[in-house]
Amino acid sequence: MNVLLKKNEIIDLIKQQDESVIFQKPKQTSKSSSVWEHFSLIVVNKIKQEMIICDNCKDLLTYRQKDGTTSMAKHFRSCHSDAANARSCLNKQTK
């Protein structure tokens, strides 16, 4: 039975430091976006949720594989203290 939790439910579990919550880095392939270096998947009770966490600011974002990584890149740029450095960092990683 796949149980996808709501954002506020996941936040509560994280605040409680519930052991059922795992932050997992996705497997990197040659086609993987470099932005994944700054985010982790959220797994609860061995079920991958449709949420990711920013490793920098710890904000939760909705993520579905079919939607791609554009919103992740935008978030990374906005939460990074120096947006110009963030763009530079991402551009270097994609080359």
pLDDT per position as a tens digit, 28-60: 888 889 999 999 999 999 999 999 999 989 999
pTM above 0.85, yes or no: no
Q: Would you put residue 17 in left (φ > 0), alpha (ψ -120 to 50) or beta?
A: left
Residue 78 binned pLDDT confidence (cut-offs 50, 70, 90): confident
Taking residues 3-28, what's their average pLDDT? 95
Average pLDDT, the chain: 86
Q: What is d(CA 12, CA 29) in angstroms, rounded to the nearest whole number?
A: 32
pLDDT of residue 4: 95
